[in-house]
Amino acid sequence: MSKEKLVEIRNLKQHFKTGRHSVVKAVDGLNFDIYKGETFGLVGESGCGKSTTGRTIIRLYDATDGEVLFNGENVHGKKDREQLKKFNREMQMIFQDPYASLNPRMKVEDIIAEGMDIHGLAKDEKERKAKVQELLETVGLNKEHANRYPHEFSGGQRQRIGIARALAVDPSFIIADEPISALDVSIQAQVVNLLKKLQEENQLTYLFIAHDLSMVKYISDRIGVMYFGKMVELADADDLYKHPIHPYTQSLLSSIPLPDPDYERSRERFTYDPSNHDTSEEPEFREVRPGHWVLCTTKEFEHYKKEHGAVTTS
Amino acid sequence: MEKLLDVKNLHVSFDTYGGEVQAVRGVNFDVKKGETLAIVGESGSGKSVTTKALMQLIPMPPGRIKEGEILFEGKDLAKLSEKEMQKIRGKDISMIFQDPMTSLNPTMKVGNQIMEGLIKHQKMNKTQARKRVVELLELVGIPDPESRMKQYPHQFSGGMRQRVVVAIALACNPKLLIADEPTTALDVTIQAQILELMKDIQKKTDSGIIFITHDLGVVANVADRVAVMYAGKIVEVGTVDDIFYNPKHPYTWGLLGSMPSLDSQDAELYAIPGSPPDLLNPPKGDAFAARNEYAMQIDLEQEPPMFKVSDTHYAATWLLHENAPNVEPPEAVKARMKGMATNASSDTEGERV
Ligand SMILES: Nc1ncnc2c1ncn2[C@@H]1O[C@H](COP(=O)(O)OP(=O)(O)OP(=O)(O)O)[C@@H](O)[C@H]1O
Ligand SMILES: Nc1ncnc2c1ncn2[C@@H]1O[C@H](COP(=O)(O)OP(=O)(O)OP(=O)(O)O)[C@@H](O)[C@H]1O
Ligand SMILES: [Mg+2]
Ligand SMILES: [Mg+2]
């Protein structure tokens, strides 16, 4: 993995007006980079703004404030249609719900080829067919499936159709919003193995949004933890699990249910109480360990550094 | 413990252009008062169809209950009229559906949707119902419930919608709660909170819960007993300790082996090879045989009966037959079974029932 930046998210805000005087600050000042070829995992409390972040990056929403740079170019700036089309091709999204995100009246072939048609990627019908068949095989389906409709597939197969559709336009960046939550564990394993293989073969970059922390750790290089529209911690996957620093991250990791009934009967959970924070100043994102950032005040920073700052090589 | 629900030999099919899809093929299980039964199993194995059949919520046609009894407090639900069923649904039995978006009305404010059931089944007036809605939303962890109840479902995040559906189901203190993937869209802290809430309510009302999930960590946390489904049948059933510490069916081994653990490194995840059988033409013999590395000749010819492992534990695999070779579960599964010796009997052969 290089340290070359593919996506740069700068002070991104997405505020929804929900009434005459009420505003939901779904995303409130996010800053992070995604490197070429990495998988950036995004986790956090339900409703903290993960989907909104993904949807705003890919421009399903106009950002309230801030910018998103892709290969150094601003995605949200005024663009002519040709430029927009180019971005649309480079960035694809796999949606959370494999049932709702495929048009039930379209054949699998046309679902997968839709993006290719829009971008004129196939010269003729023959090339289009060949490309669809190749994609079906890539995701572990077979070419006979091209003429079927979505309802004839199981959940896992449908999710793979969604992946084939995203891959059809040769993107370099894929936002996967809970791509595996609806699947059973064995199919989850198939899909995750597939995503990893495709990444190695095509140098893809992923933003991977998920709840299942053991899966996120397994697939991600770095992980960002969100809480109420803000990033509270960002670190290498291993370091985050070995040294969670922000109390919200600690509570998250202490709540993972494990497939071990004895352990579950005796488990202790650590609950996060936001009112325990130091409020003497606005918290800032600070580097507590190398590459390991935490949202904290100066006082908290000193404390975190003492507790967690020492880097041991174990 | 008293049996609240007793399902006997349930068969559900769908008549499609291609033929009869045999989605549920002879399922037997019971749920006692105050007990949580988890149902796990591959996508398409019939978990949702089974539980929808209990509530008579299978679209008929194309669906039909071909055979079987669904005894709820001694009454056979399969024989009730739609009108009689309506009195039971949402009152004695309530269901949390798998897809929260389809069970919420997109054009109706969230608060009003929860109030509906309270007014209809609990005979509350509007003011009482509104107060209860605020309480319920607070219980499922939705901040600022007063203003949130005035919003529409699309203004909620995926997990918040799921929590609304949970609130609706819990609103009427049902005797039996059927929860189909109720926490899949939630982060682990909110999930823990919802699971605690369900347990609390269960303790107070002594209700029975059927909990469908593919998250085996959640199963370990909530279940008293576990039923494992494969291709329309229950292939293994036992206490939660039986299933996690002494699993007997190779499909159960596959499921337990597919979960990454927090310390698993970069090796590829184990996935059960192949795909589930076509329920239009269920295979002869053991439906899992084609994907089972331990399959024997007899698996291709004859369906295995349920073998008794212990008083609480049954599994349908020929490996439990006295003449079968002694097969050990894969290493990845054995590593998870560490506590088994103390928790579950570990006899290797079963007794045919
Ligand atoms: N279209 C919208 N209008 C108004 N509010 C919205 C809209 N979309 C999202 N929100 C609000 O923005 C916040 C963040 O929602 P988002 O869907 O991004 O959360 P999330 O982190 O993806 O949560 P989950 O894990 O539950 O899917 C929530 O408070 C939600 O109610
Ligand atoms: N309306 C229908 N018409 C035809 N077949 C159906 C219908 N509804 C369900 N089925 C079939 O019944 C079988 C069981 O489906 P069910 O929804 O119970 O699976 P499940 O175990 O709940 O899976 P998942 O984990 O994906 O939710 C599947 O093969 C499915 O294709
Ligand atoms: Mg979301
Ligand atoms: Mg289901």
Q: How far apart are the first and last CA of chain B?
A: 23
Q: What is the mean pLDDT of residues A128-135?
A: 92
Sign, CA dihedral A87-A57-A232-A66, equals positive
Q: Residues 36..65 of A with a Cβ closer than 8 Å to B: which? A: 43-47, 51-52
How high is the pLDDT of residue A86?
81
Q: What is the pTM of this model?
A: 0.87
Nearest CA in chain B to A183: B43
**CA proximity to A298, closest of A309, A311, A282, A310:** A282
Residue A1: pLDDT over 60: no
Q: Looking at the partner chain, which of A46, A155, A251 has a beta carbon nearest the beta carbon of B160?
A: A46
Nearest CA in chain A to B255: A186
Ligand 2, atom 16: closest residue by C-alpha: B46
pLDDT tens, A141-153? 778 788 888 877 7
CATH architecture of the domain A5-243 equals 3-Layer(aba) Sandwich (3.40)
Which of B45, B151, B184, B188 to probe the A interface (max A CBs under 10 A)?
Answer: B188
Which residue ranges of chain B lie beneath pLDDT 50?
A: 339-348
Q: Do B43 and A184 touch (CB under 8 A)?
A: yes
Is B216 an interface residue toward A (CB < 8 Å)?
Answer: yes
- Whether the complex's predicted ipTM is more than 0.85 is answered with no
Is B238 an interface residue toward A (CB < 8 Å)?
Answer: no
Mean confidence (pLDDT) of chain A: 88
Q: Which helix (H) or strand (E) holds B192?
A: helix B188-205
CA–CA min distance B200, chain A (Å): 15
pLDDT tens, A265-293? 988 888 888 888 988 899 999 999 999 99
**Would you list the domain boundaries of chain B?**
248-352
How high is the pLDDT of residue A290?
92
Q: Do A182 and B216 touch (CB under 8 A)?
A: no
Neighbours of ion ligand 4 (CB under 5 A): B 48, 98
How high is the pLDDT of residue B342?
43
Q: Which residues of A touch B268 (CB under 8 A)?
A: 193, 196
A–B interface: beta-carbon pairs under 8 A: 156
How high is the pLDDT of residue B267?
66
Q: What is the mean pLDDT of residues A37-65?
A: 92
Q: Where are the alpha helices (DSSP H) in A39-154?
A: 50-57, 81-90, 108-118, 125-138
How high is the pLDDT of residue B348?
47
How high is the pLDDT of residue B298?
87
Distance A8 CA to ligand 2 centre (A): 42
How high is the pLDDT of residue A220?
94
Q: Do A260 and B163 touch (CB under 8 A)?
A: no
Is A241 an interface residue toward B (CB < 8 Å)?
Answer: yes
Ligand 2 nearest atom to the CA of residue B279, by list position? 29
Q: Do B192 and A255 touch (CB under 8 A)?
A: yes
Nearest CA in chain A to B240: A261
Residue A173: pLDDT over 90: yes
Q: Which residues of A touch B192 (CB under 8 A)?
A: 255, 257, 269
Looking at mean pLDDT, say which of A46-60, A65-79, A82-96 comes out highest. Answer: A46-60
CA–CA min distance B79, chain A (Å): 30
Residues in the ligand 2 pocket, defined by CB under 6 Å: A 155, 184; B 14, 16, 21, 23, 41, 43-49, 59, 62, 98, 279
B273 phi/psi in degrees, rounded to 5:
-70, 160
Higher pLDDT, A47 or B227: B227
Residue A131: pLDDT over 70: yes
Is A142 an interface residue toward B (CB < 8 Å)?
Answer: no
Ligand 1, atom 13: closest residue by C-alpha: A26
- Determine the Cα–Cα distance for residues B137 and B258; give it in Å rounded to an integer: 35
How high is the pLDDT of residue B344?
45
**Would you list the domain boundaries of chain A?**
5-243
- Determine the Cα–Cα distance for residues B152 and B141; give it in Å rounded to an integer: 17
Higher pLDDT, B290 or A208: A208
- Non-local (6+) Cβ contacts of B279 within 8 A are B21, B22, B23, B44, B231, B232
- Yes or no: say if A163 and A191 are a contact pair by the CB < 8 Å rule: yes
Q: Which residues of B touch A156 (CB under 8 A)?
A: 43
Ligand 2, atom 19: closest residue by C-alpha: B44
Is B16 an interface residue toward A (CB < 8 Å)?
Answer: no
Is A150 an interface residue toward B (CB < 8 Å)?
Answer: no
pLDDT tens, A219-270? 999 999 999 999 999 999 999 999 999 999 999 998 888 889 998 998 888 8
3-class state of residue B24 by DSSP: strand
Nearest CA in chain A to B191: A255
Which of B214, B225, B334 to probe the A interface (max A CBs under 10 A)?
Answer: B214
Higher pLDDT, A119 or A309: A119
How high is the pLDDT of residue B148?
92
Q: Where are the alpha helices (DSSP H) in chain A?
A: 50-57, 81-90, 108-118, 125-138, 155-167, 185-202, 213-219, 237-242, 247-254, 261-266, 298-308
DSSP state of A282: -
CA–CA min distance B87, chain A (Å): 31
**CA proximity to A61, closest of A220, A206, A175:** A175
- Determine the Cα–Cα distance for residues B211 and B209; give it in Å rounded to an integer: 6
How high is the pLDDT of residue B170?
87
